[in-house]
Structure formats: C-alpha cells, structure tokens
Amino acid sequence: KVDRGFDHGVFIPLKLIYPNADIPIIQVSLQKNLDIKEHIKLGKALSPLREQGVLIIGSGQATHNLSEIRSIANSNTVLKPIQWAIDFTDWVHQTLNKINNKKYDEVENDLTNIMSVAPNARKAHPRTEHLVPLFVAYGAAIGNNNNQDLKYERIHNIIAIESMSLDSYLFN
C-alpha cells in the first residue's frame, strides 16, 4: 500500500540513527509466507544497490518471544539472560562468523534451516517475522556471487529483560 506510514521496524531504528529524517527511505515488506530462502533471494536481488551507496538495514530481533518476558514492574531484581536466549544468539553469531572464513555455503545452509538446527529456535521465535529481516540483510551482503570480500561483525551484544536479544550485526 503506497500511502501506508512506516512500520515500527523502520521508524524506531531510523529515529535513533537519523533523528532528523533527512535521508530517503524505501521500506520493503516481508513476504507473507516468511520463507527464509525467499528472503535471502530478496536480499540478493537488492545487493547491487549497495554498490550505489544504498544502506540496507534488516530491522528485527535476534530473539522475540513476548510470552517469555517476565514482569519487571516493582522489582529491584537484576534479570540476567536466560540460557535458551544465550544459546540461540550465540548460535546465530557463530554461524554468521563463518562468513569470515569464507564458508558461505555452510552459512546459507545453516540459516535456511535455522528453525530446525539452531538450539531453542522455536522458543526464541515462536513466529519468525522478527528474525526474517536478518536473512534479507545477509542476502544483500553476500550478493549473487558469494561476495569474496565480505566481513561479518557482531557490533552489539546484549540480552535485556532475560530473553530479548538486542544483538546488532554488520556485514561489510
């Protein structure tokens, strides 16, 4: 829909990154079926835009299970990350880190099968709409020719309120 405003997945990060909203923005919607391969393919189709200086951001969350968030109201207790969230985010990081060793086929296979091979994947993402933007960003970074110069870095690593991973990844 052309006249629809920006989704919170666009609005919130860009409000923090570019508070003056002084850059052109094109929001790309996720496919309804949330198919991982289709979203990697979408990213690969967007990949040539990177050569034109277009910044491609996949805004989602490394873990997103709202039913697992414990109430912190009226609590002075420090909520430490719980193990299933740590295990899942570590798996994502270790998988993406294989890019630095040029194990592109292994990375893509692992990402494509993430919901069946990653530890606690269904607990981390009962629905995958907050994980799928990662696959678009990955596809855009790797391109159609397995970008031989691609580097990966986890630039932010924190799990808030026990299970909400706020990890950020950079592909360059």
CATH assignment of the domain containing 145: 3.40.830.10
In a domain, 1, yes or no: no
Domain residue limits at 121: 8-171
Residue 114 confidence class, pLDDT cut points 50, 70, 90? very high
Given this model, what pLDDT does residue 69 score? 74
Given this model, what pLDDT does residue 77 score? 67
In a domain, 147, yes or no: yes
| pLDDT tens, position by position, 87-105 | 999 999 999 999 999 999 9
Count of structural domains, the chain: 1
Instruction: Return d(Cα 136, Cα 58) in angstroms, integer.
Output: 6
Given this model, what pLDDT does residue 68 score? 79
In a domain, 2, yes or no: no
In a domain, 107, yes or no: yes
Given this model, what pLDDT does residue 145 score? 74
In a domain, 126, yes or no: yes
| pLDDT tens, position by position, 33-62 | 999 999 999 999 999 999 899 999 999 899
In a domain, 39, yes or no: yes
In a domain, 3, yes or no: no
Instruction: Return d(Cα 130, Cα 27) in angstroms, integer.
Output: 15
In a domain, 159, yes or no: yes
Q: 1: buried, middle or exposed (CB in 10 Å: 19+, 13-18, 0-12)?
A: exposed
| pLDDT tens, position by position, 128-166 | 999 999 999 999 999 987 767 899 999 999 998 889 999
* pTM recorded for the entire structure: 0.89
